[in-house]
């Protein structure tokens, strides 16, 4: 029985072999093509992702000229726009119009190093642990009172509100409470507000300068390192007053008076 069964199996295998043409092999080309496509696709995705990350890390680059809206907000209102208090050496500064100009002069101020700290230094603002001090010495700190009457509270904190480009007052901002000075400028026309507000505040109005992002006044100008954008006090005007000339008229005399000159008297006859 065993021998007969084995013979039948051998015959079936031989018949199957007869149906295959001489020299014909199994079709391996298609699986190899599929594998090649998968490998190539994976490599392309990896390269594209790496390029995107690298580009993001490098921006803004030397030669870029970005504008960001900025405001200082205390309790329920914005403070006046701040001015540069020193020469522009980094390429991250303001002209006092409520916009931050971001045009790194050197690689060390670009990409990951294009951070809020450079701008705060430019306007003479000192950022402390839960506080910020303006160039004029005014300090706003956590625990300061906001509001009045029943709405008054001292449960206040310092926050940085960040909106994307083209945001409106209904756009929910990102809120930064830690390492505010290290916040990167990652995109042109973003909006920032450094604020002292009640702890539970999750949104505030956009800074007044936001509308200027549509058409920045200096967008076509070439940034100049150490450009003196620090405002200077106007020269005091001087006024010179000349005392009026005194004249005495005597009957029979002719008097001629010229402003600022002595009086000449001519006696008739």
Tell me what pLDDT residue 262 has.
46
Same domain, 86 and 122: yes
Number of structural domains the chain divides into: 2
Same domain, 55 and 147: no
Same domain, 77 and 210: yes
Same domain, 53 and 96: no
Percent of the chain with pLDDT over 90: 58
Highest mean pLDDT among 65-79, 218-232, 251-265: 65-79
pLDDT range class, residue 132, cuts 50, 70, 90: very high
pTM for the model stands at 0.65
Tell me which of 134-138, 188-192, 262-266 is least confident.
Answer: 262-266
Same domain, 188 and 102: yes
Does some domain include residue 253?
Answer: no
Tell me what pLDDT residue 263 has.
45
Same domain, 38 and 161: no
Does some domain include residue 268?
Answer: no
Beta strand spans in 106-147 (E): 126-128, 131-133, 139-141
Percent of the chain with pLDDT over 70: 64
Question: What does residue 97 show for φ and ψ, rounded to 5 degrees?
Answer: -100, 10
Same domain, 56 and 79: no
Q: 194 pairs with which residues across the strands?
A: 72, 160
More confident residue, 33 or 197: 197
Q: What is the extent of the structural domain holding 53?
A: 31-60
- What does the alpha-carbon distance between residue 6 and residue 145 come to, in Å, rounded to a whole number? 98
Same domain, 80 and 186: yes
Tell me what pLDDT residue 67 has.
98
């Amino acid at each position: 029985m065993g021998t007969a069964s084995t013979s039948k199996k051998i015959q079936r295998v031989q018949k199957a072999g007869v149906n295959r043409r001489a020299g014909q092999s199994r079709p391996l080309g298609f699986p190899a093509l599929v594998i090649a496509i998968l490998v190539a696709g994976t490599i392309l995705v990896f390269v594209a992702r790496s390029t995107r990350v690298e580009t993001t890390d490098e921006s803004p680059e030397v030669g870029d000229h970005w504008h960001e809206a900025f405001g200082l907000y205390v309790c329920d209102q914005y403070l006046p726009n701040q001015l540069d208090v020193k020469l522009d050496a980094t390429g991250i500064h303001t002209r006092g119009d409520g916009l931050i100009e971001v045009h790194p002069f050197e690689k060390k101020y670009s990409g990951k190093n294009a951070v809020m700290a450079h701008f705060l230094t430019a306007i003479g603002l000192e950022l402390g642990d839960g506080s910020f001090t303006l160039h004029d010495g005014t300090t706003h700190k956590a625990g300061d009172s906001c509001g009045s009457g029943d709405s008054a509270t001292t449960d206040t904190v310092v926050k940085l509100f960040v909106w994307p480009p083209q945001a409106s007052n209904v756009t929910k901002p990102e809120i930064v409470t830690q390492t505010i000075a290290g916040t990167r400028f990652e995109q042109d026309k973003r909006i920032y507000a450094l604020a002292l507000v009640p702890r539970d505040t999750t949104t505030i109005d956009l800074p007044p300068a936001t509308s200027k992002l549509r058409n920045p006044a200096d967008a076509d100008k070439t940034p100049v390192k150490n450009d003196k954008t620090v405002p200077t006090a106007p020269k005091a005007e001087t006024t010179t007053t000349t005392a009026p000339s005194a004249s005495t008229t005597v009957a029979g005399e002719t008097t001629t008076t010229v402003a600022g000159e002595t009086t000449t008297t001519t006696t008739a006859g």
